[in-house]
Amino acid sequence: MAKRIEATNVTAYYGAFKAIENINLTVEPKTVTALIGPSGCGKSTFLRSINRMHEVLPGARVEGSLTIDNQDIYDRDVDVTAVRRMIGMVFQRPNPFPTMSIFENVVAGLRLNGVKKKSILEEAAEKALRSANLWDEVKDRLGKPGAGLSGGQQQRLCIARTIAVEPQVVLMDEPCSALDPISTLAIEDLMFQLKDKFTIIIVTHNMQQAARVSDRTAFFSIEKTGDPGRLIEYDNTQKIFSNPSVKKTEDYITGRFG
Amino acid sequence: MTTTVTSHRPQPPAQPVTLRAKRLPAYAAPAVAVVALLVAAGIVYGAGIGGPVLVVVLGALLYLAGLYAAANAVEGRRSARNRTWSALIHSAFVLAVLPLASVVWTLVSKGAERLDGNFFLTSMNNIGARDANGGAYHAIVGTLEQVGIAALITVPLGVLCAIYVVEYGRGRFAFTIRFFVDVMTGIPSIVTGLFVLAFWVLIVSPFFNDGRPGFSGFAAALALSVLMLPTVVRSSEEMLRLVPAPLREGAYALGVPKWKTVLRVVLPTALPGIVTGIMLAIARAAGETAPVLLVAGGGAAINFNPFENNQSSLALFVYQQAGEASKYSPARAWTAALTLVALVLILTVAAKLLARRNRLGR
pLDDT tens digits, B103-157 = 999 999 999 988 888 889 888 888 888 888 888 999 999 999 999 999 999 999 9
Structural domain containing residue B312: 120-357
Based on the domain organization, do B125 and B100 belong to the same domain?
Answer: no
Q: What does residue B129 show for φ and ψ, rounded to 5 degrees?
A: -65, -25
For residue B241, how many C-alpha atoms fall within 13 Å in the half-sphere facing its CB?
Answer: 10
Chain B: closest CA distance from residue A93 (Å): 8
Based on the domain organization, do B75 and B129 belong to the same domain?
Answer: no
- Interface test with chain A among B167, B262, B358, B360, by most A beta carbons within 10 Å: B360
Residue A163, domain member (yes or no): no
CATH number of A237's domain: 3.40.50.300
The long-range contacts involving B349-354, CB below 8 angstroms and separated by at least 24 positions, are: B351/B275, B351/B278, B351/B279, B352/B272, B352/B275, B352/B276, B352/B279, B354/B275
Region of residue A9 (phi > 0: left; psi between -120 and 50: alpha; otherwise: beta): left
Based on the domain organization, do B336 and B310 belong to the same domain?
Answer: yes
Based on the domain organization, do B194 and B329 belong to the same domain?
Answer: yes
Spell out which residues of chain B touch residue A99, defining contact as CB-CB under 8 Å: 265, 268-269, 271, 358-360
Q: B48 in helix, strand or coil?
A: coil
Pick the last residue of a domain from B86, B110, B134. B110
Residue B185, domain member (yes or no): yes
Start-end of H helices in chain A:
43-50, 80-86, 102-112, 118-131, 135-138, 151-164, 181-194, 207-213, 237-242, 247-253
The CA angle A155-A160-A164, to the nearest 5 degrees, is: 150
Average pLDDT over residues B207-224: 88
Residue B362's pLDDT band (cuts 50, 70, 90): very low
Residue B17, domain member (yes or no): no
Closest CA relative to residue B330, chosen from B182, B192, B132, B171: B132
Contact predicate B248/B266, CB 8 Å: yes
Spell out which residues of chain B touch residue A143, defining contact as CB-CB under 8 Å: 360
pLDDT digits (tens, 9 = 90+) for B270-299: 998 999 999 989 998 999 999 999 998 888
Based on the domain organization, do B78 and B224 belong to the same domain?
Answer: no
Based on the domain organization, do B277 and B239 belong to the same domain?
Answer: yes
Non-local (6+) Cβ contacts of A35 within 8 A are A43, A46, A47, A201, A202, A203, A204, A217, A218, A220
CA–CA distance, B46 with B36 (Å, rounded to integer): 15
Residue B3, domain member (yes or no): no
Residue A229, domain member (yes or no): yes
- From the DSSP assignment, how many helices (H) and strands (E) are in chain B? 15, 0
Residue A216, domain member (yes or no): yes
Contact predicate A27/A47, CB 8 Å: no
Residue B8, domain member (yes or no): no
What is the C-alpha R_g of chain B?
A: 29
Based on the domain organization, do B48 and B143 belong to the same domain?
Answer: no
Chain A: closest CA distance from residue B169 (Å): 11
CA–CA distance, B241 with A102 (Å, rounded to integer): 25
Based on the domain organization, do B167 and B190 belong to the same domain?
Answer: yes
pLDDT digits (tens, 9 = 90+) for A50-106: 989 998 888 899 999 999 888 899 988 889 999 999 999 999 899 999 989 999 999
Q: Which of the pair, A225 or B164, is modelled with greater confidence?
A: B164
Q: Is A91 on the interface with B (CB under 8 A)?
A: yes
Asked whether residue B309 carries a pLDDT value surpassing 50, the answer given is yes
Q: For residue B232, give the H/E element and its range.
A: helix B217-242
Closest CA relative to residue A235, chosen from A251, A249, A248: A249
Based on the domain organization, do B156 and B273 belong to the same domain?
Answer: yes
Question: What ipTM, to 2 d.p.?
Answer: 0.89
Residue B13, domain member (yes or no): no
Using CB atoms within 10 Å of the CB of residue A129, give its burial: 0 to 12 exposed, 13 to 18 middle, 19+ buried: buried
Q: Considering only CB atoms, which residues of chain B are within 8 Å of chain A?
A: 170, 244, 246-257, 260-261, 264-265, 268-269, 271, 358-360, 362
Q: What does residue A202 show for φ and ψ, rounded to 5 degrees?
A: -125, 135
Based on the domain organization, do B162 and B282 belong to the same domain?
Answer: yes
Residue B167, domain member (yes or no): yes
Average pLDDT over residues A38-51: 90
User: What's residue B359's pLDDT?
Assistant: 55
Residue A162, domain member (yes or no): no
User: What's residue A140's pLDDT?
Assistant: 92
Spell out which residues of chain B touch residue A93, defining contact as CB-CB under 8 Å: 246
pTM tops 0.80: yes
CA–CA distance, A115 with A123 (Å, rounded to integer): 12
Average pLDDT over residues A145-160: 89
CB-nearest partner of B250 from A81, A95, A99: A95
Contact predicate A202/A175, CB 8 Å: yes
User: What's residue B7's pLDDT?
Assistant: 55
Pick the last residue of a domain from B85, B110, B135. B110
Residue B6, domain member (yes or no): no
Asked whether residue A184 carries a pLDDT value surpassing 50, the answer given is yes
Residue A49, domain member (yes or no): yes
CB-nearest partner of A148 from B250, B268, B362: B362
CATH number of B284's domain: 1.10.3720.10
Based on the domain organization, do B163 and B36 belong to the same domain?
Answer: no
Contact predicate B335/A76, CB 8 Å: no
Using CB atoms within 10 Å of the CB of residue B94, give its burial: 0 to 12 exposed, 13 to 18 middle, 19+ buried: exposed
Q: Please give the tally of structural domains in chain B.
A: 2
Structural domain containing residue A225: 5-93+170-253
Q: Please give the tally of structural domains in chain A.
A: 1
Contact assignment for A53 to B246 by CB distance below 8 Å: no
Based on the domain organization, do B185 and B97 belong to the same domain?
Answer: no
Pick the last residue of a domain from B110, B133, B167. B110
CA–CA distance, A244 with A251 (Å, rounded to integer): 10
User: What's residue B358's pLDDT?
Assistant: 56
Asked whether residue B361 carries a pLDDT value surpassing 60, the answer given is no
Closest CA relative to residue B309, chosen from B247, B219, B230: B219
Q: Is A55 on the interface with B (CB under 8 A)?
A: no
Residue A148, domain member (yes or no): no
Spell out which residues of chain B touch residue A168, defining contact as CB-CB under 8 Å: none
Residue B1's pLDDT band (cuts 50, 70, 90): very low
Which residue does chain A place closest to B264, by CA atoms?
Answer: A112
Residue A124, domain member (yes or no): no
Contact predicate A241/A56, CB 8 Å: no
Q: What is the mean pLDDT of chain B?
A: 89
- Give the lowest-confidence range in A72-76, B100-104, B234-238: A72-76
Residue B239, domain member (yes or no): yes
Contact predicate B332/B114, CB 8 Å: yes
Residue A182, domain member (yes or no): yes
